[in-house]
Structure formats: C-alpha cells, structure tokens
Amino acid sequence: MVHHRQRLPLCLEAGDAQDALDVCDRYPDDALVATLFDRALALFMLGRHADAETALRTAMRLRPKVMPMLLASAPKPPRTEGDYLRVGGKEEAWLYREGHLALWEKSGALAWARGLRSRRP
C-alpha cells in the first residue's frame, strides 16, 4: 500500500490533481508538509485559484519555512539536525522542495505563489 504522502506527488506528476485533492480531503487534519502544500497545488492545477490561495496561506502560516525554500533561486541544503527531522524546520522545507519543486514549476504554481507572497491577504 502506498502512503498518502507518497501518492500525492505521483498523482500530481500524472496530472491527476483531482485525485491528489481527494487524497488530501481524506486527511483534513493532516499536518504533513506534503498534504498542506500539495492541497494548494492541486487546487491551483484544477483552476480553483481562490481556494488554492486560501489553502496556500494556511500552509504558509503552519509551515513558514517551506515557501521561502521553494521560491529561493539556489538555496543551500540545511545542516541535518541529527537523527530526527524537526517539524517546521529548514530540513523539512528542503525535503519538500527536493521532492515537489518540479511540480510547482511545471504547473505554473510557483510563479503564482511568488505573486501571492508579495501581497498581503
């Protein structure tokens, strides 16, 4: 069985944003970075930009290091903090970037998010 955090990028890579959103909807209280940010990405890919903006702003509030890491032109990998991954830390943001940046770029969501970041809600 594929864990939902692994299924999300597979759905998005295949262009099945609705399936990715359905996965996110099955885990409404999930605080995993992938669930939070991939929900916004799936909504964007479905053309639901107002909903995507709401989801992205929520994700950015809960994990403020992720979007700056996604938007950085050439970030350096953070130092590992030992055997564990700190929730909300730079390493978590880096790992999300590594696995999802291409999806954000290919879909046009990265440029869209850059524009959102420059204006207040």
Centre a 10 Å sphere on the Cβ of residue 48 and count the other Cβ atoms it contains.
16
Q: Is the pTM of this model over 0.85?
A: yes
Spatial contact of 17 and 49, defined as CB atoms under 8 Å apart: no
Angle at 55 between CA 8 and CA 49, to 5 degrees: 95
Q: Can you tell me which residue has the tokens 């790992």?
A: 95
Annotate 18-46 with b (16+ C-beta within 10 A) or e (fewer). ebbbebbeeeeeeebbbbbbbbbbbbbbe
Tell me: the pLDDT tens digits for 34-75? Answer: 999 999 999 999 999 999 999 999 999 999 999 999 999 988
pLDDT tens profile 72-92: 998 888 887 677 677 778 899
